[in-house]
Amino acid sequence: MTDFDYDLFVIGGGSGGVRAARVAAATGARVGLAEDSRMGGTCVIRGCVPKKLMVFASAYREGFADARAYGWDLTEGAFDWAQFSGQLHAELDRLEGVYRRLLDGSGVVVHDQRARLRDPHTVALADGRTITAKHILIATGGRPVRPDLPNADLGMVSDDIFAMKTLPRAMLIVGGGYIACEFAGILNGLGVEVTQFYRGAQILRGFDDEARDLIATQMREKGVDLRLGTDVVAMAPSADGAIAVRGSDGSDRSYDAVLFATGRAPNTRDLGLEALAVALGRHGEIVVDQFSQTNVPSVFAIGDVTNRVTLTPVAIREAMAFVETVFKGNPTPVDHALIPSAVFTQPEFGTVGLSEEAARAQEPVEIYATSFRPMQSAFAGRADRVMMKLVVSQATRKVLGCHIVAPNAGEMIQLAGIAIKMGATKEDFDRTVAVHPTMSEELVTMKTPVRMA
């Protein structure tokens, strides 16, 4: 039998790669891992975690106003970006340390440098060493991309937001996906004058239309200058250090900063994949089967680099399935059905299953939906509205989709996702006693469909 340096070598130290390395090592496998940046990957260092902390920070402005409406005598001060940023990066440092300690405690050998594939069982490290492994797992994630536009380098991408030294006074955000919309809400909440360009007819393409419409309306009411059907035509540096932007709507304006949130691409460049003839998709993603195996039998890939479902918990699930398949002798396909997710817009959006539009294209459905002013913000005099929506199969009565636009929608959709994953019917929801007074009780009290299709 050929003697390899490792049973498994992982390229990429994000959530998926680290989980696969640790769990494989726990089976007794010899595991190595290479990461040329910070341990923790996009989610921990430049994605979900710092973004959510910024969401928390940005929500206090409305919280102060609400507190006064509830009788608290307080004076709102100014937001101190420098103080927050310092604490933010200290927390990211702490989390990176946790990831490293977990790997060290698992017996995984970490190589803090870039690795490239040399052949189906060999990787070459940046320092010139070569390492052999029986199995190679690629978990290099994705990266934000800039549009093909002259002077696009003047703009930031999402990775750059967390490194800002100061907050801009006025900022243009280009894009209409969840990253663009989340940062529009965050920066608006922190006091930045936010303009958002999106070339499409409505933000959050691919999500439920009714939810998209409500979120767009609420974003505008909270102060975001959202311009649909609009894109950047030209941009150039201004004499005062700002960025002059011409929009396709005929607008000309200078902004202190521009953020491009116009898409992400899999990190497959310069990995040596082409030389091994590892199959790539049209967007550069690594093509894998249901067991995360590439067309080169010893090479596997998980997470955003495969462009299947680009969510951190999915990458972790793919890592666990990979270890079950390869190291525990239990072939385990990855289950990508009915994945709950949250978009941390303001208002927050939680969703699981089919949108109304997708469900209607599949089969006859009933739609149960309600929109109302929630008690907490209504008492404070705010015009915020929330939405609860169930998409139900007429034939099976199963709930095919659940969509919530409301504060803490992510927390609610996690629990609703359990029921829907189990195949709950509308009648199962109806039999559940409401928790009163809550927003989520509406999920079990909607008795009459608002429409059928």
Going from the C-alpha of 418 to that of each of 353, 354, 368, the distances in angstroms are: 11, 15, 19
What CA–CA distance (Å, rounded) separates 300 from 34? 15
Contact, 36 vs 112, CB < 8 A? yes
The closest of 14, 16, 91, 12 to 49, measured between CA atoms, is 91
Q: Is 344 helix (H, G, I), strand (E, B) or coil?
A: coil
Active site residues: 436
φ and ψ at residue 413, rounded to 5 degrees: -70, -25
What CA–CA distance (Å, rounded) separates 119 from 108? 22
The closest of 266, 265, 239 to 254, measured between CA atoms, is 239
The H helix count followed by the E strand count for the chain is 13, 22
The closest of 440, 437, 438, 405 to 419, measured between CA atoms, is 440
Q: Is 362 helix (H, G, I), strand (E, B) or coil?
A: helix
Cα atoms found within 13 Å of the Cα of residue 28, Cβ hemisphere only = 1
What CA–CA distance (Å, rounded) separates 31 from 23? 10
What CA–CA distance (Å, rounded) separates 339 from 311? 10
Going from the C-alpha of 447 to that of each of 90, 209, 216, 284, 353, the distances in angstroms are: 49, 22, 28, 47, 20
Torsion of CA 154, 158, 212, 194, to 10 degrees: -50
Looking at residue 298, the DSSP 8-state letter turns out to be T
Looking at residue 400, the DSSP 8-state letter turns out to be E
Cis omega (within 30 of 0) on the bond before 437? Answer: yes
